[in-house]
Structure formats: structure tokens, C-alpha cells
Structure 1
Amino acid sequence: MEPQNIRYGRTPHTEKLKWVNHMVKLMDNQFRIPGTNFRFGLDPILGFLPVAGDLASFGMSAMLVMTMARHGASGKLVTLMLLNIALDTVIGSIPVLGNIFDFFFKANERNVRLLTRHYEEGRYQGSGKGIIVGVLIGIVLLFILLIWVLWELAEWIYGQLAAIF
């Protein structure tokens, strides 16, 4: 599937949001498996780097959501976007299963589709500054959840290895 571009109509933020399309393509659809239409980006590749890769991917997704919130996404829309990146981050942190999941669940692309529908339905609200604090709190909570899940996973793996040796 080709990456979907955001169609903003005539808003003063069109130029500022072009980088969102670029980053979404880089994270979710930059590469194609030869002979197929299957596309993937840096997100699943970063998932192969334990902890650091998941944190980097989460950070980029969080920046994209903050940018979209700053440019008119509603509180409900931002909540849905945060749920997408939370799901991507939590399940993506699971070894092997998470890596496979990351190739198919493209949270950033899903968020762009949500934003596109938001603009096409005429719900564009302008600044969105009122929800930035909520987004920041949500991102911090998701980050804490990610660290906790990774900690629990590391303890479990350590326990399994200690039982073997």
C-alpha cells in the first residue's frame, strides 16, 4: 500500500505539516520488499534494537502526534492517536512477536489517516494549544508504561536464565 498523504485543504499550516508526511513515510513505508507491494519503514527495524529502538520509535511517534495536535487535531483525535502509539509501543516491545507486529501495525500511518479524515470532515479547529498539556501527560505516561513493561520483561528473562543455570 502506498503511503497516504495528508490533504489539508487551504490551511496556514500546510507547509509546516509537510514534514509529517515525510516522517510517516520514513517510519512506516520507506522500503519495499522487491517483487511485492509490501512496504515497511524504520519503525520495525528500530524494534530490533532492544529498549533504545523502541524508545526512539515511540519518541518519533509522540513528536508526530504533538505536531498534529498543535495544528488543529481535536482532543478526541489526539486520544485515538495516542492509543495507536501506545499499542504499537507496548506490543512492539515484546521480543519476536513485537518485531512481527511492527511490520504490520503502522501507527503513524493510521494517525495520518485519522488526521486526514478530521480535515476532510471539516473538524479542523485551529491551534489545539489547549490539549498540548494533555498530550504531554499522555506521552509521559506511555513512556513510563513502556519502561515498566521493559523492566518486567527483563526481570522475567533474568529469572528464566537464572533457573536454567
Structure 2
Amino acid sequence: MSNSPQKITIESEGYAPTLKRLRHISRLLDNAITIPGTEVGIGLDPLMGLIPVGGDALGLIFSIYIIIESAKLGVSQSTVGRMIVNIIIDALVGAIPMLGDLFDVAWTANRYNLKLLEEYLQSPGEKKQADQGFILVLFAGLILLAIVLISLPVIVIGTIWKTLFGG
């Protein structure tokens, strides 16, 4: 019988099914299809961004799911905070017509967030979970951001319509 410590892996801790699902979602959102002749991938996130009014909000909702699952796995408050900053950048810049869609191809927030999750789960030492109140406040803010991403285009389109057609 050996007294040497066993190496703890993500799989040995029972995270494998959740990580497999999150990896699949992240790949679909950020780089499902590789552009032939390049290493650039395009996922559903930039494509959803092309949908007027709610496309960017829909992408944000899928990104929030990855963070919710990460929080369930016990990631720290600082890791959740970094994940949220990634998707806020993605949502805000992605909402800019045309430029935002190009940005969404390059800024793969979901892949970055999955990397943060995996690094956290693989890091040795004591794990300090994020405070549930902190997570709740941040998610409320993200839902508010999704509402703004839907409302702003509606307001802008309405204003342009009234200006052009006097309606």
C-alpha cells in the first residue's frame, strides 16, 4: 500500500458530465464551424447577433447558463466575476451593428469562461465558493443587460421610423 497522494483530476471529482455538456455548448456558441483554410471558427453567438432586436440578448442568455453551471460546481466569487466581465464585453460590443458581429467571431467569451472554470477546478488548494447573494445580484444585473439589449434597438428603430415616416 503506497502512501503517495493521489492526483485529483476533474474527472475523479465527478465534474466530467457537466464539463462535457458545457464544452459542447461553448463550442456551439463560439466555434462550431471552422472557416476553410483558416483556424478561425464561427459559432452560433455571432450568427444570433445578426438577428435584429433580440439576437445578442439570446446569446447572453446562453452564456449565463454556462456561468450558472459553473457556480453550481462551486467556482469562486472572483472567477464568477471574471466570467461575467467576459460576457458583458461580448454583449455590449456585440450589440454594435456589423462591428459587433465581427467582434463576436474574435471574442469567444464562452470558451474563455470554460477555460476559467477548468483552471479553477484543476487548481490545488482550498476552494472557496462564491457567495449566493453575490451571484444573485450579478445575474439580476445580467438579466437587466439582456432587457437593455432588447429595448435599445426597439427604441432606435421606433425613433428612426417616426423621423422618416412621421408616424
TM-score w.r.t. the length of structure 2 is 0.79
Q: Secondary structure at the match of 1:72?
A: coil
Stretch deviating more after TM superposition (94-103 or 113-122): 113-122
One-letter amino acid of the structure 2 residue matched with residue 108 of structure 1: N
Out of 101, 104, 108, the residue aligned to residue 103 of structure 2 is 101
Partner of 1:154: 157
- Which whole-Å CA distance do the structure 2 matches of 1:158 and 1:30 have between them? 36
Out of 64, 67, 90, the residue aligned to residue 65 of structure 1 is 67
Task: Kindly indicate whether the alpha-carbon contact (under 8 Å) linking 1:82 and 1:138 is maintained by their aligned counterparts in 2.
Answer: no
Partner of 1:134: 137
Task: Kindly indicate whether the alpha-carbon contact (under 8 Å) linking 2:32 and 2:43 is maintained by their aligned counterparts in 1.
Answer: yes
Question: For residues 110-136 of structure 1, what are the alpha-carbon distances to aligned partners after superposition, in whole Å with 9 as ceiling and x for unaligned?
Answer: 111211221232367376572442343
- Which whole-Å CA distance do the structure 2 matches of 1:12 and 1:107 have between them? 25
Query: Shift of the alpha carbon at 1:35?
Result: 1.5
> Structure 1 residue 26 and structure 2 residue 33: aligned?
no
Aligned residues: 156
Task: Kindly indicate whether the alpha-carbon contact (under 8 Å) linking 1:66 and 1:135 is maintained by their aligned counterparts in 2.
Answer: no
One-letter amino acid of the structure 2 residue matched with residue 18 of structure 1: K
Q: Secondary structure at the match of 1:59?
A: helix
- Which whole-Å CA distance do the structure 1 matches of 2:110 and 2:40 have between them? 16
Instruction: State the structure with more CA Rg.
Output: 2
RMSD: 2.5
Out of 42, 49, 52, the residue aligned to residue 44 of structure 2 is 42
Task: Kindly indicate whether the alpha-carbon contact (under 8 Å) linking 2:71 and 2:80 is maintained by their aligned counterparts in 1.
Answer: yes
Query: Shift of the alpha carbon at 1:9?
Result: 4.6
Out of 43, 59, 84, the residue aligned to residue 86 of structure 2 is 84
Query: Shift of the alpha carbon at 1:46?
Result: 0.9
Stretch deviating more after TM superposition (9-18 or 57-66): 9-18
Partner of 1:144: 147
- Which whole-Å CA distance do the structure 1 matches of 2:76 and 2:45 have between them? 26
Task: Kindly indicate whether the alpha-carbon contact (under 8 Å) linking 2:63 and 2:87 is maintained by their aligned counterparts in 1.
Answer: yes
TM-score w.r.t. the length of structure 1 is 0.80
Question: For residues 35-73 of structure 1, what are the alpha-carbon distances to aligned partners after superposition, in whole Å with 9 as ceiling and x for unaligned?
Answer: 211111111111111122212111100111111111111
Partner of 2:14: 12
Query: Shift of the alpha carbon at 1:29?
Result: 1.1
One-letter amino acid of the structure 1 residue matched with residue 137 of structure 2: G
1:112–1:60 CA distance, 2 compared to 1 (3 A)? same
